[in-house]
Structure 1
Amino acid sequence: MESIFYDIGLIMITATVIAFLAKLIKQPIIPAYVITGILLGPVFKVITNQDVIQTLSEIGIAFLLFVVGIEIEFKRLKEVGLAATLGGLVEVLVMFIVGYFAGAAVGMTPIQSVYIGLLVAFSSTMVVVKILSDIRELDTLHGRIVLGILLVQDVLAVFAMSTLVTLASFSSFVLFLALLKGILLVLIVLAASHYIFPFVFKVAAKSSELLFLTSITACFLFALLFSVLDFSIAIGAFAAGIAIANLPYSFEIVGKVKSIRDFFATLFFVALGMQLTPTAIKETLPALFLIGLLVVVVKPVLIMVLTSLTGYKKRVAFATGMALAQTSEFALILIAIGMSIGHVGDKVFAITVITTITTISITSYLFKYSHKLYNILEKPLSLLDRISKTGEDLEYIPKRKLDVLLIGLDRTGYSIFRKLQTMQKEFIIVDYNPNIIRHLINERVPCIYGDISNPEIMSQIDLKNLKLIISTVPDEDVSEYIIKHARRANKDVIIFVTAYQVDDALLLYEKGADYVILPHFLGGEHVSLLLEDITKDINSLIKTKLNHIRELHNRHLLGHEHPAHRDHSKKNSV
């Protein structure tokens, strides 16, 4: 027992020190955890008994996927349903086939090649959701598309796991039994979500401690149930999260479970590092290079093309593809199943572990430098805009003088849009969500579909005669681009831009912005003004309430949702 405490303590201390160093030099945290594992394991051999750490890391995967399941908002995925379905199904099919032949090309058997195909086909729900949440992009347009694709992949991963188990003793009866078990589990999840959990959690919510214990119990109960029926405990935890997601207490549950999740997640990434050895790298180098190329280059490009085919422009397609340039934690579970039933040996295991470590680490850097990468690749990426043309004329530009340019309509932009209508201003809207643009065209509202940082889009707008530009896009590079090009064409135009960080806002003021919108601060300012009105006339509250209810109904029709307050670091969509 003392040895376990010593090992965990050493891991946490070392991980904290290296994570601190990573933050000081502005590097991502996940590679710091992997480096911790490499140092404590294969380099200095401080921790030799990895079995306990490995077990705890598996619990980490379960908790991470439990929280991911709770945070999935199916209603938010409706508007990106086509992109998510096409991206998920076609990408998995194509990458599985490509991965299979890549495995065969480096001398693997057909069954080993199947595992390589599965390795390159799936992306990491756990890692991507964590990073998107950390950088506040979980609720952006590309964030919702990524989440939808990952949801489709997760369903296919569950099917793959059950199929692989049946391959060990394949028969029509075993396959039928696996299918029957899967249907039974889906029915149990639905029953728990709609009939059992609402009552149980309503009682548990009366006590903060009982709510926490009940949620943890639900996680372990589903994990145990799935394990008994020959499915992964991680999938069981994920299913428990989905069953809890629609409850009104889900936000509070996530807040309570997050600390446990982060602790076990650290152990998971450290355990990955411990499994990396120089010998394994040397022996599998040719295969690693080929498979790594498929995951980091071919898969993102395929997803970009598929996203463009559903009508989204290059910026959204690029962000979606880059987010999925890694292998999945499910790959580790799949390879464990493969080893237990004798499908694969140490070589494929080493390839899976090393590819997972390296691609997850690379993903952290792809997110960190995504804007710079986009700027470098912007010209070649223009090919995606040609693909995204659906034959529709996604713009409505009336031949009259325009006073205001509004960039981004979702949420913050919608309130500004309504105010501009009330003021009877002549304005035009630019947005890269095709669904929003179609709605505006139907309403005969002047609009253009596209990315404002695209010179072709900017050239369609008469900047010289504009009096006001308002951008609700919280992207520093985009804001700087708007300020630079607008000032060049019209030095007198008033420019509003948006930021989420105080440092970013101050920088944008230095660049020439007239006002920087900070959405998280606007709520407090609005309430303070409301308090002044109530003090003068209490009846004004009734009028404000009725107007607010009317606006909420309109937003509901447009598919707007307020970002979940379960994580105050999340990025709101504009």
Structure 2
Amino acid sequence: MHNTLELVLVLLAAAVVVVAIFRSLNLPAVLGYLLVGAGVGPHALNLVADSDAAVHLAEFGVVFLMFSIGLEFSLPRLVAMKRIVFGLGATQVFGTLAVVTLVGRAFGLGWVAGVALGGALAMSSTAILSKLLADRFELDRPHGRETIGVLLFQDIAVVPLLIVIPALAGPGEGLAATLGFAALKAAGLLALVLGFGQGLMRWWFTVVARRRSGELFMLNVLLITLGLAWLSALVGLSLALGAFLAGLLISETEYRYQVEEDIKPFRDVLMGLFFVTVGMFLDVRIVASNLPVVVGMLLALLVVKCAIVFTASRAFGESSGNALRSGLWLCAGGEFGFVLVSQIDGLGLIPPALLHTTVAALVLSMLVAPLIVQVSDKLVLRFVASEWLLRSMELTRVAAQSMNTSRHIIICGYGRSGQYMSRFMEQENVSYVALDLDPERVREAGAAGDTVVYGDAARQETLLAAGIMRASALVISFAEIEAALRVMHRAHALRPGLPIVVRARDEKDMARLADGGATEVVPEAFEGSIVLASHALALIGVPLNRVVRRTRDIRNQRYALMRGFFHGATDASEGPDANQPRLRSVTLPAGAYGVGRTIAELGFDEFQVGVSAVRRRRIRGLSPGQETQLMEGDVVVLVGVPAGLERAEGRLLGGG
């Protein structure tokens, strides 16, 4: 018990420091965990006395990761993407397996070890690539759909690989029978769980949910996850397969999203511990002494996987440019590669030196994956001649739509907000040109007569083709802050004085967007509240001209009267609202530091805190001036972020 506690403390302390550094550098946390493992492991500082205990704890990380994959697994989704998933995805995985096995045989490695190693190298990082696709708004582009489809097949392929590799590593005699029996057990368990489990699972979760207990709901999720993992191990299969089936069962119920949120902290923490244990058997000295081999393996991994994906994508009818993009996105290694590496290590299939080299190559590949993605467009333009023609055609289509327009509005993003706005513009006979990256949406809207074209608003050449030098305004209708800032940067570089209107989800992003160059920022939460209040006031008989004047005043003051909210026990303490401006009421007792002082003298600006109102003898004064002198018994309403509010309250009461 004492050793286990020491183990957990050492790993937690090291992980907190290193992962915080990696997050600040905008690098994947998984690389930080691997570095922690390499540093505290037996080949470096040797701070972990019982590495076996760490491995046993980390097994639960794999269980919860596979459970999460099961939650995301959807038969309708597979059917919709079957060509990419089971065509391109299967070709990539089996192609990598075949190439690695053949190369391994050429260097004297057994074919079983080659298959195991090929499975580990075939994987790409779902966590890193899906986040990059979302951040770059490329999920709906051709290479984005191919990347997601291949990643989905890789996630599915891990399950049979976890079954097949141990069977292949067993005695040679009776191998076919062993594999057949393992497949039969897996099929039987799958049929039993899916055939009888879905109805039972929905009924049982309904019973538990009716108790309205978050604690009971969480206990039930843990019971089902670990119970099915134990059942799978009981029949001779892997814990991961049972956890995958548990997630698969729950994915078909209406409780899927709640379960996903509840299980996330367990999954993330335990998966971090798993990556730490993987890093433990990375001997940095061996890697350093064989650095040319590590770099050679890294380059071979990137080139071979990119070539396989490129060839397969072209065979399935994709253009050369998009095929190369898909190859560049998928060429690096992934987290499931480490899951398979840990299994290979336990079976003793590969010499330790080669295993260390493989882990090092996988780590380095994940480290360079974001860099490869960053330069992927430049590489495609450099090596694919037809891409220049396609880019020119795209810009020509944009220019054709904007050629005969002037004083028009450029709408960046043609989702629901962009479409609603375009209809408003049409009613006022104001011309517009909309840019969007969803080809299906552009095709259908264009066929209906909307002035929308396929184009990336974050590119200067696209904005020029859209007629930014003749436009009267630019509107960013999507609410993704980083992308909006990139578009504003490009627009101001081309035409500094152009008015830009930006949509924001809530108030926390207003200052950042305004600093980024937005002329007006429209927060959805405020506007929704204004409209609700306007309808309510009109329905209870308040004169319409007064309602209109009130809403106009609020907008003219940049929503100052609406900023902040009173935080309650039912509000989440973390998440997207954690750093939203809040309101806090502070009553001034006799002897408080603020009594007799003006708001200006208290210096709340230092904490980025303002005074929203002062309530005195049941009279409430909104937006008091800096010269307002506070009195005993006043209720001062502060507005600011939580950390600033704490310090402002301390100064108001005690002068700190």
1:7 equivalent in alignment to 2:11: no
Cα separation, 2, equivalents of 1:313 and 1:468:
37
Q: What is residue 44 of structure 1 aligned with on the other side?
A: 45
Distance 1:269 1:343, change over 3 A: closer
* Contact 2:116–2:165 under 8 Å retained in 1: no
Q: What is residue 442 of structure 2 aligned with on the other side?
A: 437
Pairs within 5 Å for 1:133-144: 140-141=139-140
After TM superposition, the structure 1 stretch with the greater mean CA deviation from structure 2, 254-263 or 335-344, is: 335-344
Distance 1:166 1:73, change over 3 A: closer
Cα separation, 1, equivalents of 2:405 and 2:344:
66
* Contact 1:56–1:264 under 8 Å retained in 2: yes
Q: What is residue 453 of structure 2 aligned with on the other side?
A: 448
* Contact 1:315–1:451 under 8 Å retained in 2: no
Q: What is residue 233 of structure 2 aligned with on the other side?
A: 227
After TM superposition, the structure 1 stretch with the greater mean CA deviation from structure 2, 103-112 or 481-490, is: 481-490
1:118 equivalent in alignment to 2:119: yes
- After superposition, the C-alpha distances for 1:478-534 in whole angstroms (9 at most, x for unaligned) are 6466445545666664323467898976455445332346xxx51453144223313
CA positional deviation for 1:149: 2.4
After TM superposition, the structure 1 stretch with the greater mean CA deviation from structure 2, 441-450 or 4-13, is: 441-450
- After superposition, the C-alpha distances for 1:400-420 in whole angstroms (9 at most, x for unaligned) are 537232222235434434544
Q: What is residue 499 of structure 2 aligned with on the other side?
A: 494
Cα separation, 2, equivalents of 1:434 and 1:350:
44
CA positional deviation for 1:538: 8.1
Distance 1:264 1:163, change over 3 A: closer
Please list every run of 5 or more consecutive structure 2 residues that lacks an aligned counterpart in the other structure.
Answer: 542-571, 578-656
Give 3-state SS (helix, strand or coil) of 1:43's partner.
coil
Q: What is residue 155 of structure 2 aligned with on the other side?
A: 154
| RMSD between superposed Cα atoms in Å | 4.4
Distance 1:66 1:127, change over 3 A: farther
Cα separation, 2, equivalents of 1:62 and 1:120:
21
CA positional deviation for 1:295: 3.6
1:525 equivalent in alignment to 2:527: yes
Please list every run of 5 or more consecutive structure 1 residues that lacks an aligned counterpart in the other structure.
Answer: 540-564
Q: What is residue 346 of structure 1 aligned with on the other side?
A: 352
More helix by proportion, 1 or 2? Answer: 1
CA positional deviation for 1:37: 1.9
Cα separation, 2, equivalents of 1:524 and 1:109:
65
Distance 1:414 1:235, change over 3 A: farther
Cα separation, 1, equivalents of 2:276 and 2:494:
53
Q: What is residue 243 of structure 2 aligned with on the other side?
A: 237
Cα separation, 2, equivalents of 1:306 and 1:468:
44
Pairs within 5 Å for 1:394-433: 400-401=404-405, 403-420=408-425, 423=428, 425-433=430-438
- Residue identity matched to 1:18: V
Larger Rg: 2
Q: What is residue 34 of structure 1 aligned with on the other side?
A: 34
Distance 1:423 1:523, change over 3 A: farther
- Residue identity matched to 1:150: L
- TM-score (normalizing by structure 1): 0.77
* Contact 2:459–2:490 under 8 Å retained in 1: no
- After superposition, the C-alpha distances for 1:408-436 in whole angstroms (9 at most, x for unaligned) are 22354344345445555433332222222
Give 3-state SS (helix, strand or coil) of 1:512's partner.
coil
Cα separation, 2, equivalents of 1:432 and 1:459:
17
- After superposition, the C-alpha distances for 1:61-119 in whole angstroms (9 at most, x for unaligned) are 21123234324566677776655555422322333333334434554333333233222
Distance 1:514 1:295, change over 3 A: farther
| Pick aligned residue for 2:195 from 177, 191, 197 | 191
* Contact 1:54–1:271 under 8 Å retained in 2: yes
Pick 1 or 2: higher relative contact order, CA cutoff 8 A, min separation 6: 1
- Residue identity matched to 1:265: M
* Contact 1:77–1:145 under 8 Å retained in 2: no
Distance 1:101 1:386, change over 3 A: farther
* Contact 2:306–2:324 under 8 Å retained in 1: no
After TM superposition, the structure 1 stretch with the greater mean CA deviation from structure 2, 428-437 or 269-278, is: 428-437
Cα separation, 2, equivalents of 1:48 and 1:522:
54
Give 3-state SS (helix, strand or coil) of 1:359's partner.
helix
Distance 1:393 1:285, change over 3 A: closer
Q: What is residue 471 of structure 1 aligned with on the other side?
A: 476
| Pick aligned residue for 1:277 from 283, 294, 297 | 283
Give 3-state SS (helix, strand or coil) of 1:448's partner.
strand
CA positional deviation for 1:395: 5.8
Cα separation, 2, equivalents of 1:421 and 1:84:
42
CA positional deviation for 1:214: 1.3
Cα separation, 1, equivalents of 2:428 and 2:311:
41
Q: What is residue 261 of structure 2 aligned with on the other side?
A: 255
The total of aligned residue pairs comes to 533
Distance 1:424 1:353, change over 3 A: same
Cα separation, 1, equivalents of 2:389 and 2:244:
35
- TM-score (normalizing by structure 2): 0.68
Distance 1:416 1:186, change over 3 A: farther
CA positional deviation for 1:301: 6.8
- After superposition, the C-alpha distances for 1:150-197 in whole angstroms (9 at most, x for unaligned) are 221122232333333443455554444343334334334533663121
- Residue identity matched to 1:428: V
- Residue identity matched to 1:111: V
Distance 1:507 1:85, change over 3 A: farther
Cα separation, 1, equivalents of 2:385 and 2:473:
32
